[in-house]
Structure 1
Amino acid sequence: MKNQEQLHRGLGQRQIEMIAIGGCIGTGLFMGSGKTISVAGPAVILVYAITGLMLYFVMRAMGELLLHNLEYKSFVDFSEDILGPQAGFFVGWSYWLAWIVAAIAEIIAITGYASFWWPELSPWISAMATIFVLTSINLLTVKAFGELEFWLAIVKVIAIVGLIVVGLWLSVTGFVSPDGTKASVANLWTHNGFFPNGFAGVMAGLQTTIFAFAGMEIIGTMMAEAKDPKKMIPDAIRKIPWRILIFYIGTVTVMMMVTPWVDISPEHSPFVGMFSLVGLASAASLINFVVASSATSSSNSGIFATSRMLYGLAQSHKAPAIFGKLSSHQIPAGGVFLATLLMFFVSVILTAVDSMMEAFQMVGAVAALIFIFIWTMIIWAHLVYQRRYPEAHAHSVFKMPMSKMMPYVVLAFFLLVIYALSLDDVTRIALYLLPGWFALLAICYRLKLR
């Protein structure tokens, strides 16, 4: 393996844009929205809107900090610089773990999608095949990775826009499915109202919604491989509200117009279910392919993020030096192999639980909590930055809006989400596991100092 000193700036504007979109559209939406809708009803629209708004401000904080010093390659760098070396150590390794766990959740989803076509296929076979393909892809050049992610994101965008158009057409024409269900805007409030399960339903909806937005911050790991980060990062972040409005709020609204929320199964993808319900079997198969490719894309992004994070940790002597070496394609291959090796353990999870959705929810909750920690550290770093560098903040080229108030609003929202995760037996397991992870990191950090 040839050791190169620098990652290659091979990601162009269109690739950064589409990877950012891919980070916003994942299995948490395609698969997890069924669970969210089943507990929150039409109020899921509000849940997605509020969650998206809070994370938009996290991304604005991250963007301002990254552009404050172009030597920062990711949020780990500014966490270490602003909050201290221990914060950088905790953020870097936690983000690495978050994407490992998130990628496992995506693999679980892929096995569920595969069963749509091959019900008798053992889950571990589709999981292992996917992991093998992803390993091969991530050993290519970063330009090849960006190109693949570009086209996978294009598939997601076309599919979602197509779903919205078809759903609106079915609702306007008053389409009646074979079981007598009529598509109508009125389905948003005629089945026990807009808040059918009250505040408890909204809180339950937060449990799965937060994972749907995990990955939005991935653009903050691309500073070292973006051709023009000073222009590309702000452009990608500014478009986040439109992506949330179209891809999240638009899709779930249309789905509940076509299929009343009471008929949406929490165990399966509502995207596939919508077309199956209206009798469009071929379209259902096509949408299943789309959501499967989306999960593959998200897993692919996870391996990318973990390998780059591990490379950065090794470069700053927070991880074994072998992970700081690059292949002849300027890829941190050691991080790629470690990530995919750990993902092989997904087969154990798949055979340990009876419900695929339960496995997805449990693993997704663990990932969501770690992502909340990462987002919290970004906000904390921005608060310290405001106090330490008031002039830089005042004259920032990409200043966070309402920066005096919104960081505290976002932190309060994260506390609310953590409380929501504590209300469910499955997601509560994640809360028990996280302290153990931080204790392990604390031990490793003390050993590193010695």
Structure 2
Amino acid sequence: MTHGPVTDPGDLHKGLRQRHLTMIAIGGVIGAGLFVGSGAIIAEVGPGAFLTYAITGVLIVLVMRMLGEMAVASPSTGSFADYARRALGGWAGFSVGWLYWYFWVIVVGFEAVAGAGILQRWLPGVPLWLMALALMVLMTATNLFSVTSYGEFEYWFAGVKVAAIVVFLALGSLFVLGLWPGRDLDFSNLTDHGGLFPNGVGALFGGIVIVIFSMVGAEIATIAAAESDEPERGIAKATNSVVLRISVFYVGSIFLLATILPWDSTELGESPYVAAMETIGIPAAADIMNVVVLTAVLSCLNSGLYTASRMLFVLAGRREAPQRMLALSRRGVPTWAILTSTVIGFLCVVAAYVSPDTVFLFLLNSSGAVILFVYLLICLSQLRLRRLVPPERLKVKMWFYPVLTVLTAVAIVAVLVQMAVRDDTRSQLLLSLLAWALVLVAFVVRRRAAGPVSPAGQDVEERAARR
């Protein structure tokens, strides 16, 4: 497989500051799924759903720690795609890069539709597709302008999400502790409706399949850090603080939701945070939370375009994507990579409008397990690369290597098995495996067309690894 010059991520404009990276890391964890989908998890698991979030959080933390170790030792815009290539071979890097890109362009389309759906509550007369298009154009312009504008938008988007969660944690704590007017200390909802696990302890682990997708995004900070002045510091800070972020934002807020409202309450269904705030007695709770959810959607849309474009840029640098994707604007952003990712995202919006129950549903399902494949390859990459990295570059280390690395990989496989067993997720796993199979076929075809690795290509790979 002949490689052309591997594009140095340094060619991209280093316009992200430490405060941008901090908020990108925080915002990456808080997705719209937390605000909207958590009610379904509580309904499935029961009041003990906060333990499902805690277990899933541990899994994400361990994957982030592994990624942090590799990223601090060798910051790269390609991040885990580059690490998979070095550790496991070209097939792994090709797979991770294209699967991760595919995952995020589908997310971009989905979030555009979701955001348009929220806007329709305030603008019922405007067509859904038109508002989805407007959101896509807005976020595309943000990414095209400069990486600093992406970072600035994400800084404020994340700020709104964090503020909303912090306010909810404060008000919810006062409410359940009996410090709210007219309230007494009350944790009865945790036990009065069938106990912590009314649907059995097995439901605790069954919920992990859904919860893990609501936490996707923490790893974006390791990609964005390559476009900052201090990548090592940014990555180390992001990976070290992920424990606190997940335990407070997810476990803490889900615990309060399950304490404020009965787990089998119908009010938990559509928007659990709105239901909880209305129970507390906050005026205009629905409008406030709709603004917060819209912000979360725009944040995900913004980060999705950024992440997909950078992965496409890196794939082009490895001659695994069209070379046009390497074109940079005067402001140092990959213009064609951004526009290409936007077009795919917009085609998803069209599919949602024209064929919501077939094409759009197929696209969503076919990306369902993709992120788990990526996380599994991150584990396998760290397992191998740890032995190849000089000790002085290991400023962040995976805990209890190699035991925890192996256990994490086994846990991810267990989640995939759980997806195969569950009727509602089996199609996602099968279609995601089909997507991976197609990527591997594309890799084989490309390798045969390109021929064997040239010495020059090997030299380039070695120089990239030493960076």
User: Could you say whether these structures have the same fold, taking a TM-score greater than 0.5 normalized by the shorter chain as the test?
Assistant: yes
CA drift of 1:207 comes to: 2.5
Distance 2:365 2:220 in 1: 19
**Alpha-carbon separation, structure 1, partners of 2:212 and 2:194:** 25
Is the Cα contact below 8 Å between 2:175 and 2:280 reproduced in 1? no
Identity among equivalent positions (%) equals: 32
Aligned positions, number: 438
Cα distance in 1 between the residues matched to 2:273 and 2:57: 20
Is contact 2:63-2:375 (8 Å) kept?
yes
Q: Would the alpha carbon gap of residues 193 and 71 (structure 1) be closer, same or farther in structure 2, given more than 3 Å must change?
A: closer
The equivalent of 1:401 in structure 2 is 399
Deviates more, 1:219-228 or 1:277-286: 277-286
Superposition CA RMSD, Å = 2.7
* Residue identity in the other structure for 1:348: A
In the alignment, structure 1 segments of 5+ residues that lack a partner are none
Counterpart for residue 294 of structure 1: 296
Give the letter for the 2:27 counterpart.
G
> Which residue of 1 is the match for residue 457 of structure 2?
none
Query: What residue identity is the alignment partner of 1:429?
Result: S
Q: Which of residues 253, 257, 260 in structure 2 aligns to 1:258?
A: 260
Residue 377 of structure 1 corresponds to 377
Equivalents in 2 of 1:176, 1:34: separation in Å? 26
1:65 counterpart = 2:70: yes
Deviation at 1:71, TM superposition (A): 6.1
1:361-398 superposed Cα distances (whole Å, 9 cap, x missing partner): x8766544111111111110111123x42x73597211
The aligned residue for residue 5 of structure 2 is: none
1:34 touches 1:264 (CA, 8 Å); kept in 2? Answer: no
Shift of 1:416: 2.2
1:39-188 mapped onto 2 (5 Å cutoff):
39-70=44-75, 73-118=78-123, 122-173=127-178, 184-188=186-190
CA distance in 2, matches of 1:183, 1:124: 47
Offset at 1:38? 1.2
Aligned residue number for residue 219 of structure 1: 221
- Which of 436, 442, 445 is equivalent to 1:444? 442
Deviation at 1:32, TM superposition (A): 1.6
**In structure 2, do the counterparts of structure 1 residues 123 and 274 end up closer, same or farther at CA, with 3 Å as the change threshold?**
farther
Q: Distance in 2 between matches of 1:215 and 1:132?
A: 22
Selected match of 2:341 from 339, 342, 345: 339
CA contact (8 A) 2:367 2:431 kept: no
The answer (yes or no) to whether the contact 2:77–2:223 under 8 Å persists in 1 is no
Q: Secondary structure at the match of 1:422?
A: helix
- TM-fit CA distance, 1:124: 2.6
Partners of 1:183 and 1:287 lie apart in 2 by 26
2:242 aligns with 240
Any gaps of 5 or more consecutive residues in structure 2? Answer: 1-8, 450-467
Aligned residues of 1:82 and 1:381 also touching (Cα < 8 A): yes
SS at match of 2:330: coil
Q: In 2, Cα distance between the equivalents of 1:90 and 1:250?
A: 36
Structure 2 SS opposite 1:215: coil
Equivalent residue letter for 2:132:
A
Change in Cα spacing, 1:405 to 1:368, as seen in structure 2 (3 Å) is: farther
Q: Distance between the aligned counterparts of 1:5 and 1:415, measured in 2?
A: 35
Query: CA separation of 1:363/1:47 partners in 2, compared to 1, >3 Å: closer, same or farther?
Result: farther
Further displaced range: 308-317 or 68-77: 68-77
Q: Under a length normalisation based on structure 2, what TM-score does the superposition of the two structures give?
A: 0.86
Q: CA deviation at 1:277?
A: 4.6
Asked if the contact 1:102/1:363 (under 8 Å) is kept, the reply is no
Cα offset, 1:159, TM superposition = 0.6
1:305-352 CA-to-partner distances (Å, cap 9, x unmatched) read: 000110111111110001111112211121221222112223423564
Contact 2:75 2:226 in 1 (8 A): no
Could you say what secondary structure the match of 2:233 adopts? Answer: helix
Scaled by the length of structure 1, what TM-score is found?
0.90
Alpha-carbon offset, residue 240 of structure 1: 0.5
Query: Which shows bigger deviation, 73-82 or 113-122?
Result: 113-122
Name the counterpart of 2:418: 420
Deviation string 1:167-212 (CA, Å, 9 cap, x unpaired) is 12222338799xxx99932212221111111134224312320111
Q: Which amino acid aligns with 2:261?
A: T
